[in-house]
């Protein structure tokens, strides 16, 4: 009976955590380059010994891991020369105060020193260092290989980094990812094309997310009712049966 209370409580906890992930996905439905996430749960038998040295199993359910869906989002045309999108695999490489980070958000601009930067002011990294634009050279063009050109002069080539799949990365704020472990080495991406004047939209499906939210809420309710039933039974066992 106590085990039933425990399992129902664990189930409610997992559903609450899953609901948090779904809510976060919906909140970022319009965030450029955002990748949706979900929650894995697992059930296992925890073996213990009682006072008679007899081994018995105690079932536990808990959240196992948050996973990120790295599938590509839709292409959104902006016609802005500094808006870039990666068609295929890989990430833009940016330099932050914490070190190299990786993103699919290509909403770039030029800072006061002429460097190509993210919306947070982090420099976009090329194969030979940070990419710097000369305002005197006019229009910026970026070809499918990521080479940044001005008046037929190369300003550098975007470093499109990739990692061994399946990806083992964590979010680091502002649409940035960092590899796990921290010393994981990026490799050059293969099979990509840079699209100028486009941004990659969020890969969150609003319809699927709403369906998941409703299903999660129903599961939470079921666990809640199971908990209440177990509590009622325990109350009768203690206060009614025991007196008899």
* Domain boundaries along the sequence of the chain: 2-70+204-241, 75-200
How many Cα atoms sit within 13 Å of 111 on the Cβ side? Answer: 14
Dihedral angle, C-alpha 215, 216, 219, 220, nearest 10 °: -140
Distance of alpha carbon 44 from alpha carbon 30, whole angstroms: 38
Bridge partners of 86?
Answer: 194
Taking only the tens of pLDDT, the chain with its 244 residues reads: 566 667 777 778 888 888 999 999 999 999 999 999 998 766 555 555 556 555 454 666 666 678 899 999 999 999 999 999 999 999 999 999 999 999 999 999 999 999 999 999 999 999 999 999 998 888 999 999 999 999 899 999 999 999 998 999 999 988 999 999 888 899 989 889 999 999 999 999 999 999 999 998 898 888 788 777 776 776 666 665 555 5
Q: What are phi and psi of 214, to 5 degrees?
A: -65, -45
Q: Is the dihedral of CA 71, 77, 81, 83 positive or negative?
A: negative
pLDDT of residue 241: 54
pTM, two decimals, is 0.80
Residue position matching structure tokens 């206060």: 239
Residue position matching structure tokens 């999660």: 216
pLDDT of residue 168: 92
């Amino acid at each position: 009976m106590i085990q039933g209370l425990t399992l129902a409580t664990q189930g409610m906890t997992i559903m609450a955590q899953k609901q948090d992930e779904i809510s976060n996905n919906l909140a970022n439905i319009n965030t450029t380059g955002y990748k949706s996430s979900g929650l894995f749960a697992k059930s296992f038998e925890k073996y213990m010994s009682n006072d008679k040295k007899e081994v018995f199993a105690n079932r536990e359910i808990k959240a196992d891991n948050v996973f990120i869906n790295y599938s590509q989002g839709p292409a959104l045309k902006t016609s802005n020369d500094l808006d870039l999108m990666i068609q295929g695999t890989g990430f833009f490489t940016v330099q932050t105060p914490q070190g190299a980070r990786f993103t699919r958000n290509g909403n770039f601009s030029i800072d006061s020193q002429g460097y190509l930067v993210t919306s947070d002011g982090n420099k976009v990294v090329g194969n030979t260092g940070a990419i710097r634009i000369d305002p005197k050279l006019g229009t910026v063009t970026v070809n499918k290989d990521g080479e940044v050109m001005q008046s037929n002069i190369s300003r550098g080539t975007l470093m499109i980094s990739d990692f061994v799949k399946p990806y083992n990365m964590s979010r680091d704020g502002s649409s940035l990812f960092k590899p796990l472990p921290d010393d994981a080495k990026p490799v050059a991406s293969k099979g990509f094309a840079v699209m100028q004047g486009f941004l990659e939209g969020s890969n969150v499906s609003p319809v699927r997310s709403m369906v998941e939210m409703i299903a999660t809420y129903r599961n939470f309710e079921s666990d809640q009712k199971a908990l209440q039933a177990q509590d009622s039974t325990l109350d009768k066992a203690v206060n009614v049966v025991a007196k008899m």
